[in-house]
A and B are shown apart, each in its own frame.
Chain A
């Protein structure tokens, strides 16, 4: 029998709907795989065994009596532990929420439940999604399935590693500055940040509300489109949710074709600072796209060089405000110092014990940027830079239908390598941040290997044109898989320490 964990979600869905495979078998195969490899990977903070099997048995029962079901019914999925789920803990990777259970489901989770997709569990992340390596989790780092001594990217390293290690065919992530796309790049998986407002954020624990976006984490571009169609679309619970219909994304992925597509190479997102192997895979991808009939042009986005700086003012400012709610009163941890302390002293002690270093750093930085006398110079200026970045995108999209760049400047680095150098860590997101600043959608697809480690290629599209990402992404995926003779993950080594 085929190993069910090696199938794409689309392939598994077909076997389920034709009843060659039961949902129970599909879920059990993934639970077994989690049991086997997760002690080495640490992708999961919570495994949702009982509920996943219960949902699977319901799917099998309904299917046996011929009920009409969602095409992905019975296909299991993992959820980043920043997204709240009833009946399972949600920690956001922080000690301050240890043991906390949400009294409600995020809208995206409700949509998974409506589609009867069994939830395998909650995946690891940098605390409150702050980081690019998953090393800032209070529950230990996640390891990259390609090399267990290396980081899986972040903040959504758990979701990307779970999918790359065949522990789940699908996962949900969140992307504030690259937290879906950069882990996708360094684990050889696919990650999509939809248009801002295209997927409801109700129930995603907020970091920076004007930047945060939920999106798919998968092994194929078609799988990402299928999942995007499940979670996308208007939600009255999120006042930033767009009212546009989600669009025919899977159809775009199935009609992968770049003939006549104008692809803009962003001059500022390559060259210096980009690892040689990353640049080489990027150049090869451009050649393949050209040969397939794409019209590859160069575009310039001169203000992108200020994006990282502006991001590191806006993101901490919004985070410092969003994280004020963790005060030891309404949820999670409460630390009571000796004596008869006032609530103010309880808050100070609770937040000191509950937050890790990176979270404290960003709260202090954000408090600084928002404080009287600095607000205009910092937060105000950063918001103006945001306008300039949007103008760069607008100009570039008059010359090209989609833009292209490497997703991340380097392949996965070693655990601990950048932990004591916050600035070096922040530079990982240099190519992914502009999309969040402008609200435009982006996808990272596997682009090959450099020294045995995955490289990601990023496409960006205008706001509300997510379908273009799937068309271009699936086309590049097909072109590259032809040269590799199969998916990139087929080349991943067996996970060390696992029989």
Chain B
């Protein structure tokens, strides 16, 4: 496995939408390298013949009847939002001004 670089962490932070200061990037790079180094053996344990487990107790075809149940009201759904208008979540501009 390649080492984790500061540039990698900066890229991951952008993907995860978390602004990080230079000091945070330095610290996180060091910490992640140690953690990833300690868990890299995981990729060498299981052979190709071992199936993956995504769910400890598999259930299949969990459906419900197609009827309207109890749901939140529009007001309840908006009650925790930082901003709303006309019954919708209100957000700042989605695109840069160009």
Contacts and interface: CB of A to CB of B under 8 A. Distances in A.
Contacts of A378: 42-43
B82 A364 contact: no
A439 B56 contact: yes
Contacts, number: 174
Query: What is the size category of the interface that chain A forms with chain B?
Result: 35 or more
Given A309-B38, A386-B53, A463-B57, A333 B82 contact: yes
A372 to B, nearest CB: 11
A31 to B, nearest CB: 28
A327 interface: yes
Contacts of A349: 19
B86 interface: no
Query: What is the size category of the interface that chain B forms with chain A?
Result: 35 or more
Given A306-B45, A342-B92, A364 B28 contact: yes
| SS of A interface (majority) | helix
B85 interface: no
A313 B45 CA distance: 14
Interface string B70-84: 001000110111110
B68 interface: no
Nearest to A307: B42
Interface in B2-20: 4, 8-9, 12-20
A361 interface: yes
A286 to B, nearest CB: 28
A328 B82 contact: yes
Contacts of A423: 34-35, 38
Contacts of A196: 56-57
Contacts of B54: 210, 383
Given A197-B59, A334-B82, A349-B19, A364 B12 contact: yes
Contacts of B94: 342-343
A129 interface: no
Contacts of A463: 56-57
Contact of A352 (B20, B38, B41): B20
A103 B79 CA distance: 7
A347 B17 contact: yes
The 5 closest A-B pairs by CB, nearest first: A439-B56, A384-B46, A334-B82, A383-B52, A103-B76
